[in-house]
Chain A
Amino acid sequence: MTRHSLWAFMFRRSVLRGSAISGSVLWGLLLWSLWQSAYATEELNLPATAEPSTPLVIHAAFDVPYARPLLEDFHRRHPQYDITYRNLSTLELHERFLNVPDEPDVMMSSAMPWQYRLVNDGHAQPITTPNAENWPAWAKWRQELFAFTYEPIVMVINREVMDRFGPVNSHADLLGLISQHGDALRGRIVTYDPATSGAGYTYAIEESQLSPRYWDLVAALGNADTHLVGTTGEMLDGLHDRRFLIGYNLLGSYVRQSVEHDPSLRWVIPDDYALVIQRLAFVPRLAPHPAAGRRFVDYLLSVEGQRVLSDGGNVAAIHPQLDGPGTATAMQRRYAEGLRPTPLGPGLLATLDDLKRRALLSRWQREFSGEMVGEQERP
């Protein structure tokens, strides 16, 4: 997997097939599937090397290169499991689960609202292993849904900009920079298009709830003719080849790797507030091998599993005992108040509301294009 497919890592999807998903859920996944059609379903098999063997079926939207160290470590510890790992797009994952809810033993995805909705509808079973019981309350819901990564959303800024206009460490700095030097930066800023990117929409809706000044920032971005794209990969490509000077709202876990090789770029976790997304896992209620599924989720939440994720998968781990660079503990110490992990709660359902999306997007378009007219009411 090349690094331009960073979004594929997060929200992989392919062409929409079938139509079993309700309308309000469909839109975002449809959008996300538009540019991801190149990726076919990947399967990874780790046959059991100990008797008696038990099958374990994992369905995830989590690319194989990132998942492999995790799976191999788990398999080494528990060789009796005959592991089938299917990496699907988030749409496929969701659709396939609704069609065949008794196929997977574990569901993993970073599409938080969709995962939450499945669990809210009663599709998950509770896990009460010690690791699951001791998991931090903010990173789980009902003992059924568990967040196992901690990935902040960051800005990437060309050092040239910093040298010229001073440091940018927060949203307020960015707003000030764009407002004062909009002409210099015109067309050189890049961010997600919330209308075409599900992830971009998710960030927009959360930011609009977090900060009332978000709309000022959107208006300022609109004034500076900000370029709108669909994936973190596209943003990074443009930043590397200097088409863009500032990238706003990129997924931190990929940026770190990518930016390390390019001394002209700096990535910033804003210190006023920073969104944090989390990958969510659950064991379906109708899982064919629930004990195996629970064992795997327990491993995912154990010190060992989290360490493998953090070291091998390069994804920030949550486990409170892990304290290395890039872990949740370290980040929380550094940005005490600023980090805003998406709360695991029914607020995520609101994100999926169709009318809400239309309301937010119309406001976003209005602010971005600078139309200052009132209600677009039609009789």
Chain B
Amino acid sequence: MTIRDSLHRRLLTWILVPMLAVGSLVLWQAWTDARRTADTAFDRLLEAASLAISEQVQWQDGQLWLDLPPAALEMLATQNDERVFYAVVDVQGHQVTGNASLPGDPRPDQQGGDTLWYRDIQLQGMSLRQGVRRSRLEDWRFRDVFEVRVAHTREGRDALSWALFRQSLAYLLALAVLTLAALIIAIRFALAPLTRLRRQIRARDPRTLQPLELPLPRELAELRDTLNELLARMRRVKANQERFIGDASHQLRTPLSGLSARAELALRQNNPELWREALETMQATSTRASRLAIQLLSLTRLDNPEYQPELVRTDLNVIAREAVREHWQRCQRQAVDLGLEASDHAVWVMGLDWQLAEALANLIDNACRYGARQVTVKVTTEPPCLAVEDDGPGIPAEHRLLSLRPFHRGQQDDDGSGLGLAIVDGIARTHGARLSLAATIPSSQRGLIVSLTFPEPPPCNTAENP
């Protein structure tokens, strides 16, 4: 519901806002047009009235003379009872007659016939439209220039322009209503495939991960394909999980059935010496089984995407030193030389000490198990890196990626769980670190370096930082 509605709203908003802007522009245009039309129509009256007056102007008794025709003024009154003003001014700017002093034509004098000039003026707080006619006497002796200035109020013009504007407004409103209706229908049609897609997804069996099959327009087809890719990934993940569970149960069943068989065998004897031997074997087997169970648990936990432990500032040197101290004795017993190459300074990363210790333990254990004689734990800086290097047979390059999968074991493995590198991989992911496997001596493909390269920690001003 929210998706459909908000898409509707977005589309409507983004179409309506520009339409409103365009609409107001058109309205403004209509208003100025209406005013211009009204002015053009009514300016004819100013023209006619000024002509009627100027025709009456003549030279008499040594001055300009005018028998003012009342019709000229009546004409300007229109049916709107406009206020009317007039003035006749001679060439010196002296007002010959009139009922108001009106401003003149600002343009320079021109040869030829009458010139007309219209403009809006303010007179004693009234808005007027003025027409100025500059004319010449039609007397053979005198060719004096004079100006007839007439003006009237704007009521008629305003009424006409408002009427014209109302017409445009009605057209525009009708157009807007039609457009809006068309728009709503168009958007509904355009968004219909989205509704189809939604319905199809909702109607699916929640357990199935089969791809969606329905024809859609290009933009939605992309979405459908992306969804299908996601579904395919989920199918692979699910297959992996199922295989993991199968492997895990298989792995756990082997020691358990071994235990069961050994117990059964021992119970047939009556010699307590044999019982003791059997119990010791059973103890070793159950220890291995419980370690396997612990590793499975920690792997499951690490694989859980919801698991987001809080990382703290940790010194890689300390971790490495602790791990060497812990595992040194056991390695010594197996005649493995465990060494440490720590950095001169503390190497700070954001991490969980127990997880990193676990990773090191797995790596050292792996190295011992796969026949290394010399194992070195290394800490380097820039970028912070924790690595375990051995001189064992190594892993062929084509098997390195595979070895990260749970329950994958090398050839010489006898009692390993095959979970060690998978766990290290999980820990690396938790820390955002990059796990890389490489041969110690690249030319002979012997030995193995497993290194965890951490991201630089954020700068810290605590006292721990030397």
What is the interface of chain A, defined by CB distance below 8 A to chain B? 24, 117, 120-122, 141-142, 209, 343, 345-347, 349-356, 359-360, 375-379
Contacts and interface: CB of A to CB of B under 8 A. Distances in A.
A120 B84 CA distance: 7
25 contacts: A117-B99, A120-B99, A121-B83, A121-B99, A121-B100, A121-B124, A345-B73, A345-B74, A346-B76, A346-B77, A347-B70, A347-B74, A349-B73, A349-B84, A349-B99, A350-B69, A353-B66, A353-B68, A353-B99, A355-B66, A355-B96, A356-B97, A359-B65, A377-B61, A378-B61
A215 to B, nearest CB: 14
Interface in B70-128: 70-71, 73-74, 76-77, 81, 83-86, 96-97, 99-100, 124-126
B60 interface: yes
A354 B74 CA distance: 18
B73 A346 contact: yes
Contact of B60 (A122, A347, A360, A377): A377
Contacts of A209: 70
B206 interface: no
A120 B98 CA distance: 13
A287 B388 CA distance: 106
Interface residues of B, number: 27
A376 B69 CA distance: 20
B309 interface: no
Contacts of B77: 345-346
A377 B58 CA distance: 11
Contacts of B141: 379
Nearest to B124: A122
B62 interface: yes
B344 interface: no
A355 to B, nearest CB: 5
A313 B85 CA distance: 36
Interface string B115-155: 00000000011100000000000000100000000000000
B98 to A, nearest CB: 8
B67 interface: yes
A7 B62 CA distance: 37
Identify the 3 closest CB pairs spanning chains A and B, nearest first: A346-B73, A347-B70, A350-B70
Given A120-B85, A378-B60, 5 more contacts: A122-B125, A353-B66, A355-B67, A355-B96, A375-B60
Contacts of B76: 346
B99 A356 contact: no
A238 to B, nearest CB: 33
Contacts of B61: 376-378
Given A122-B124, A377-B60, A378-B62, A356 B67 contact: yes
A348 B8 CA distance: 66
Given A345-B74, A346-B76, A142 B99 contact: no
Nearest to B85: A120
A352 to B, nearest CB: 7
Nearest to B101: A22
Nearest to B88: A355
A122 B70 contact: no
Contacts of B67: 355-356, 359-360
Contacts, number: 73
A346 B141 CA distance: 34
A348 to B, nearest CB: 8
Contacts of A142: 81, 83
A142 B126 CA distance: 15
A355 B124 contact: no
Contact of B97 (A346, A347, A355): A355
Contact of A120 (B62, B69, B83, B125): B83
Nearest to A343: B74
Max count, chain B CB within 10 A of own CB: residue among A121, A142, A346 = A346
Contacts of A377: 60-61
A353 B88 CA distance: 11
Contacts of A356: 66-68, 97
Contacts of A352: 99
A346 B86 CA distance: 10
Nearest to B125: A122
Interface in B192-247: none
B453 to A, nearest CB: 90
A117 B141 CA distance: 36
Nearest to B72: A350
A347 B86 CA distance: 12
Given A122-B125, A347-B74, A355 B68 contact: yes
Nearest to A348: B70
A288 to B, nearest CB: 19
Nearest to B83: A120
B83 A353 contact: no
Among A345, A350, A351, A378, max chain B CB count under 10 A is at A350
A355 B61 CA distance: 12
B27 to A, nearest CB: 30
A286 B109 CA distance: 41
B125 A24 contact: no
Most central of A122, A142, A343, A355 by chain B CB within 10 Å: A355
A142 B66 CA distance: 29
B73 A350 contact: yes
Contacts of A378: 60-62
Nearest to B65: A355
Contact of B70 (A117, A141, A346, A355): A346
A375 B61 CA distance: 10
A224 to B, nearest CB: 28
A332 B438 CA distance: 124
Contacts of A122: 83, 124-126
B96 A346 contact: no
Contact of A346 (B60, B74, B100, B125): B74
B58 to A, nearest CB: 9
Contacts of A359: 65-67
